[in-house]
Structure 1
Amino acid sequence: MGLSDGLFTLPYSLDINKIKHNQLYSKLMNAIPLDIQIKPITKTALLWLWRFSVGLLVLLVLGLAWLVAFADLFVAGSDLGYNLGLAGGLIMLSLLLYPLRKRVRALERLGQMENWFRYHMFMGIGGPVLILFHTTFKTGSMNANIALLSMLLVALSGVVGRFVYRRIHRGMYGREITLAELEAEFKERQEHIGSVFSLQPNIEHRLKDFHQAAFAPIDSTLHRVWRFMTMRHRGKKLSRRIRHDAKKVLVAEAKKQGWPHAQLLLNYNLAKRQIDDYLFAIIRLAQMAGWTKLFSLWHLAHVPFIYLLVFSGIAHVIAVHLY
C-alpha cells in the first residue's frame, strides 16, 4: 500500500466523510498530540491512582521514620520496639517458605507460586522496614549491627534480583521467557516493519545497522559489557530519531493528500508502535543470554546472604534474651 493509500492498514475502517462532518470528533482528535498513544481513560486513571497511593505511603513511612529517629518515641528494648523487631524477624523468617514451596512437592497444594512470589516480594520490603523501626535507626551492639547489615544486604540483593528477574520473565509474576519465543517474536516484528521502510530510504539502513551491531561478535569482554549496558539507551535514542523523521514525512503527506487528523494520528501511532516493537525485540533477543547469566550469578550471591541473615538473626535474639 503506498503513501497515497494511507501507508498502513488501519485497525478499523475509517469513514472519512463522516469524520469530516463530525466537528466534535475532529476537535477531540485535534486535542491529542502526535507523540502519545491513545490509552483507555480507566486504565490511565487507575495507574495514576496506584502511583499516588504508593507515593503517599512512602511519604507516610518517611515521616514516621523521622519521628522515630529524632523524637525519641521509644527505644529498641521497649515493648513497642521489641514487638516491632519480633514482627519483622518473623516476617523475614517466613520468606524462607517461598523457596520451600518451589522445591518441596508436599507444599504444592498450598496456593499458586504467583501468590507466593507476591508475598515474598512485598514482605521482603515490609520485614526490613519493621526491623529498621525496631532499631530506631540507630546502631547498637556488635551482634545487632551484624544482623542489621545482613538484613540490608538481603533486602538490597532482593531489589537487584527483582530488576533482573523482570528482564527474563513475562510481566511482574510471569513465567520465564525462552529464547525460541524471543526469536519467534523478532521474526514477527520483521514482517511488520517493512511498511515503515517506505517512509524514508535510510530508515531501513539505520534499523539494520542497529541489528547488526547488537549481534556483532566482540572479543573484548569490556566492550561486550559496555554494549550490553548501553544497548537499551541507544535503541531508545534511535527510535526517537526515526519516529521524528517518520512523523515529518507523514505530516507532509497528510497535507498533500488532505488526510483528516484522525487518519494521520492513526498512521503515526501505528508506525511508532512498529518501530518501537522492532527495536525492543532486537534488544531483548540480544540481551537474553546476558540477563540469564546475571540472574544465575545473583542467585549464587543471594543464597549465602540469606544464610548469613538467619544465623546472625538467631545470634541476635539469643544475645538479647541472655543479656
Structure 2
Amino acid sequence: MPAELVIPVTEKDTASPQRGSLIELYRPRMRGILLAMGYLSILAIIAYGWKHRIEQPLTAENGAGYALGIVGGTLMLLLLLYPLRKHAGFMRRMGPVRFWFRTHMLFGIIGPVCILFHSGFQLGSLNSNIALFCMLLVAGSGLVGRYFYTRIHHGLYGRKATLEELTRHAELLSGSLESHLTDYPRIRNQVREFEALAHTKPAGIISSFLTLGSLGFRTWLLYLSLWRQVPSTLPTAQRKTLLRHIGAQLESVRKVTEFHFYERLFSIWHVLHFPFFLMLVLSGVVHVVAVHMY
C-alpha cells in the first residue's frame, strides 16, 4: 500500500503561504467548474434577453433601458482603473492590484450585459452599431485574454511562471508519484502515456493548434478516469492525497507543454487588446454625444 506522499519543495516553490507544496500548487480545483457555471448563468441571462427581445419593455431612449446604458457604459469606462492602478504612480496606494484585477473582470462582464439589454438585442443607428460591436469585441477579447493569462501564470492571481520552473516542478512531481504507483500499474501506465503524448510535437500548425487547444480538456478527462480507478478501499486521507498528486502531475505536464504556445498568444493579445478598448471608448463617446445632440 502506498505510503504517505511527501513532496519536496524549494524556497522558491513556497513563495506564498497559499501554495504550501507542489501538490497544492498544481492540483485540480473545483473553482474552474464553478467559474464555468457562472459563465453559463450569464449566457442563460443573455439567451433569455435575446429570446424576448421583441416583447421586452425596455427602450434605449428612457426608463430602465436608458439607465442600463448609462450603467453599462460607466462600467466599461471604469475598466481603465486596472491598468491605471498597475502603471500610474498616484494609484499605487489605492488597494492591491489583485482587487483591481477582479473588479476589472467583473465590470468587463456586467457592463456588456447591461449594454446588450440597453440595446434590446437589436441593431440601431450607425454610431450605436459601431459602439455595440466594439463593446462585443472588447468583451470577447477580455475573455480570451483571461484564458491565456491563466495558462502562463500560477492561477488567476498567481505569479508569472517560467518554463524552467514548470519543467523542474513536473520532474519532481513525476519522480515522487512514480514510486507511489507501483501497486497501481494501470494508473502508472496511463500517466506515462499522457506524459509521452503531451511531449510529442504535432506535425503542422493546424494540428499543433488543435492538439494544444484541447489538451486542457483531455487532462480533465484523464483525471476523472483515474479518479474512478483509485481504489475506494484506501483510507480517505491517503486516497485524497494520491488523487491530488495525480492531478498535480497531469496539470504540471500540461503547463509545460502549453507554456510557449500560450505565452506567444498572450503577447499578441496584449498588443491588440488596448487598441480595441480605445476604439470602444471613442465609439462610445461618439454614440453618447450623437444620441443627446440629435
Give the CA deviation at 1:7: 2.8
1:320 equivalent among 276, 283, 291: 291
* Equivalent residue for 1:118, pick from 99, 102, 107: 102
Aligned to 1:193: 177
**Shift of the alpha carbon at 1:220?**
2.3
Residue in 2 aligned with 1:275? 246
2:146 matched to 1:166? Answer: no
Query: Which residue of 2 is the match for residue 156 of structure 1?
Result: 140
Higher deviation after alignment, 295-304 or 90-99: 295-304
Q: Is the 8 A contact 1:81 1:134 kept in 2?
A: yes
Q: Aligned partners of 1:242, 1:104: CA distance in 2, in Å?
A: 48
Q: Which amino acid aligns with 1:92?
A: M
Partner SS for 1:175: coil
Residue number in structure 1 paired with 2:87:
103
CA distance in 2, matches of 1:208, 1:59: 38
Structural mapping, 1:12-27, within 5 Å: none
TM-score calculated relative to the size of structure 1: 0.70
Supply the AA of the counterpart residue of 1:146: I
Assess if the C-alpha contact under 8 Å between 2:199 and 2:257 holds in 1: yes
- Asked whether the 8 Å contact 2:202–2:211 carries over to 1, the reply is no
Which of 268, 283, 286 is matched with 1:297 structurally?
Answer: 268
2:2 to 3, 7, 11: 7
| Alignment of 1:69 onto 2:53 | yes
- Stretches of structure 1 that go unaligned for 5 or more consecutive residues are 1-5, 12-43, 252-260
**How far does residue 300 in structure 1 lie from its aligned partner after superposition?**
2.6
- 2:279 is equivalent to residue 308 of structure 1: yes
Distance (Å, rounded) in 1 between the aligned partners of 2:123 and 2:167: 51
Moved more, 149-158 or 57-66: 57-66
Verify the 8 A CA contact 1:68 1:133 in the aligned structure 2: no
Partners of 2:98 and 2:60 in 1: how far apart? Answer: 35
1:137 aligns with 2:147: no
Letter in 2 for 1:311: L
Greater CA deviation, 157-166 or 139-148?
157-166
Please say if residues 170 and 176 of structure 1, whose CA atoms lie closer than 8 Å, have aligned partners that are also in contact: yes
The Cα of 1:194 is off from its aligned counterpart by 2.3
Using the aligned pairs only, state the percent identity.
Answer: 35
3-state SS, counterpart of residue 96 of structure 1: helix
Residue of 62, 76, 81 corresponding to 1:92: 76
Q: 1:229 aligns with which of 205, 213, 220?
A: 213
**Residue 166 of structure 2 contacts residue 252 of structure 2 at CA under 8 Å; is this kept in 1?**
yes
TM-score calculated relative to the size of structure 2: 0.76
**Cα distance in 2 for residues equivalent to 1:202 and 1:57:** 39
Give the SS at the match of 2:214.
Answer: helix
One-letter code aligned to 1:9: E
Distance 1:64 1:181, change over 3 A: same
Q: Distance in 1 between matches of 2:67 and 2:226?
A: 58
* Cα gap change, 1:70 to 1:195, in 2 (>3 Å): same
How big is the alpha-carbon RMSD for the aligned residues of Structure 1 and Structure 2?
A: 3.4
**Quick check: 1:8–1:270 contact (8 Å CA) kept in 2?**
no
Give the CA deviation at 1:95: 1.0
Tell which deviates more after alignment, 97-106 or 57-66. Answer: 57-66
Rg: which structure is higher? 1
Segment of structure 1 superposing worse, 84-93 or 115-124? 84-93
Distance 1:223 1:57 in 2: 33
Conservation of the 8 A alpha-carbon contact between 1:10 and 1:266: no
C-alpha spacing 1:267/1:183, structure 2 compared with 1 (3 Å): same
Distance 2:133 2:95 in 1: 32
User: 1:287 corresponds to which letter in structure 2?
Assistant: E
Cα distance between partner residues in 2 of 1:216 and 1:68: 49
**Matches of 1:118 and 1:240 in 2, distance apart?**
29
- In the superposition, relative to structure 1, how do residues 217 and 137 fare at CA in structure 2: closer, same or farther (>3 Å)? closer
The Cα shift of 1:152 comes to 1.1
Evaluate the alpha carbon distance shift between residue 133 and residue 195 of structure 1 in structure 2; reply closer, same or farther with a 3 A threshold.
same
